[in-house]
Amino acid sequence: MPDRVLSVKELNNYVALSIATDPMLHSVMVAGEISNCKSYASGHFYFTLKDSDASVRCVMFRSYAERLAFRLADGLRVILSGQPALYQKDGQFQIQVTGAKKDGVGALYEEFERRKRRLFAEGLFDEVLKRPLPLLPRRVGVVTSESGAVWHDILSVSKRRNPKIPLLLCPSQVQGADAPKSIISALNAIQTVEDVDVVIIGRGGGSFEDLFCFSDESLARAIRASRVPIVSAVGHETDVSIADMAADMRAPTPSAAAEMVFPVYNDLRMTLLELNRSLYDSACAANEKRSAELRLASARLSKMEPNRNMSEKQRELHDIAKRLALLAASGISGFQMKLKAVSSRLESVSPQNALKNGYALITMNNSLVRSAKTLKAGDDVRIKLFDGSLSATINNVRSDMDGSEKARL
């Protein structure tokens, strides 16, 4: 063991000095993918450079960042130049970046951004298009590699949560140039199974270029054209693909996708029992309320005694009918007496009675002769007597007592 005990500060200073004076580390070039990139008002950039096996902290100060022809961002594959250093205060190893250029994957990332902007402008990612997942799917479809860990992870979750829901795997490639066509073909094929109500597509983690097949534009359109909801589970939580944006639901991992799709059987059973109990309680409460209302209505009707009221109304109606009958009989009797008096008066002034008393009616041309002045010698007249009639011709007309002329038959 060494005899001298170092303080933390002394150790950090020594390591920092060693790194700074090592000619191999004076200026290095490192390739990797940018993640967790943050910029501040000062203009400095802090980020992580990673590959499939390791990662390292990086800082690029404003004076160097302003010289770049592009802006640092998550997902960019770059080749950085700079000097490794140790931040003595907390012992954090980092690269102080002095320059950067895009690696080959940087072009892929730019294409990813172009596709994303174009499809976003079309409305392909609109929330209004997102469909809810079925509460209890009849069958769950899975599009992924048959040999990968994704299928086994989903199987494991489904058996734990709800083994009564069957699974259907439609294998596809999940990496490489032919992967998009393979995924689309599998997605279209699995939708032809009538009882498949939801589909999970995805794969495990990988580099940006490994996952780029899930950012294919045709795949995004096939997802939106699907007849059933799609859950996308591509890579890890920090990996985002265009398939994730187009899908009805995005899961951070394939296992999380299975958690979303498969309801827990016991939870469903308890929910159904609670709903059944709530429905029974509601029905009992409603029945009790209606019964109380019926009892109240019956009490009110009992107080009103409709049968007694009906009998009283019937008696009143009978009394009114009797009074109407009496009034009618009295009116008819009075009318008959008046009619008899009028008939007597008419009889007394009847022309027939006058004829019985020796009077006669003289007509000419069916018109009653009322004055001798209307006659002249030679007129033919008809004389009506009590018991018959006769015809006569006027011979002359002589004057009456006041000197006027009278007709002579």
pLDDT band at 106 (very low <50, low <70, confident <90, very high): low
- Asked if 142 contacts 135 with a C-beta cutoff of 8 angstroms, the reply is no
Cα 83 to Cα 28: distance, rounded to the nearest angstrom: 6
Q: Would the pLDDT of 114 be above 60?
A: yes
Q: CB–CB of 219/115 below 8 Å?
A: no
Residue 97, φ and ψ in degrees, nearest 5: -80, 130
Q: Are 241 and 109 in contact (CB under 8 A)?
A: no
Rounded mean pLDDT of 250-278? 83
Q: Is 293 helix (H, G, I), strand (E, B) or coil?
A: helix
Q: Are 82 and 96 in contact (CB under 8 A)?
A: yes
Q: Which residue has the tokens 């109990």?
A: 277
Q: Where is mean pLDDT largest: 20-24, 103-107, 346-350? A: 20-24
Split at pLDDT 50, 70, 90, the class of 359 is confident
* b/e code 272-307 from CB counts within 10 Å (16+ = b): eeeeeeeeeeeeeeeeeeeeeeeeeeeeeeeeeeee
Q: Which domains does the chain have, with CATH numbers?
A: 8-102 (2.40.50.140), 111-266 (3.40.50.261), 354-408 (no CATH)
**Lowest mean pLDDT across 186-195, 283-292, 339-348:** 339-348
Mean pLDDT of the chain: 84
pLDDT digits (tens, 9 = 90+) for 170-218: 999 999 889 999 999 999 999 999 999 999 999 988 877 889 999 999 9
pLDDT at 207: 79
Confidence category of residue 250, pLDDT binned at 50, 70, 90: very high
From residue 385, how far is each of 354, 367, 375, 389, 407 by CA, in Å? 10, 16, 20, 5, 18
> What is the Cα–Cα distance from 60 to 173, expressed in whole angstroms?
39
Q: Are 242 and 217 in contact (CB under 8 A)?
A: yes
Q: How far apart are CA 268 and CA 136, in angstroms?
A: 9
pLDDT band (50, 70, 90) for residue 404: very low
pLDDT of the residue at 378: 82
Q: Listing from the earlier edge strand, what are the strands of the sheet with 388-393?
A: 367-368, 361-364, 380-385, 388-393
Buried b / exposed e along 340-360 (16+ C-beta atoms within 10 A): eeeeeeeeeeeeeeeeeeeee
Give just the sign of the alpha carbon dihedral 270, 274, 279, 283.
positive
Average pLDDT over residues 315-338: 76
CA distances in angstroms from 114 to 108, 394, 395, listed in the order given = 10, 137, 141
For 22-41, what is each residue's pLDDT tens digit?
Answer: 777 778 889 889 999 999 99
Residue 307: the pLDDT is: 62
pLDDT at residue 296 tops 70: yes
User: Once rounded to an integer, what is the mean pLDDT over residues 133-150?
Assistant: 92
pLDDT attached to residue 308: 61
Min mean pLDDT across 5-14, 21-30, 216-225, 306-315 is at 306-315
Across 121-125, 134-138, 388-392, least confident range: 388-392
Higher pLDDT: 114 or 305? It is 114
Q: Which residue has the higher pLDDT, 276 or 55?
A: 55
For residue 361, is pLDDT > 60? Answer: yes
pTM for the whole structure = 0.48
Span 284-299, average pLDDT = 80
The pLDDT of residue 408 is 47
Separation of alpha carbons 288 and 294, rounded Å? 10
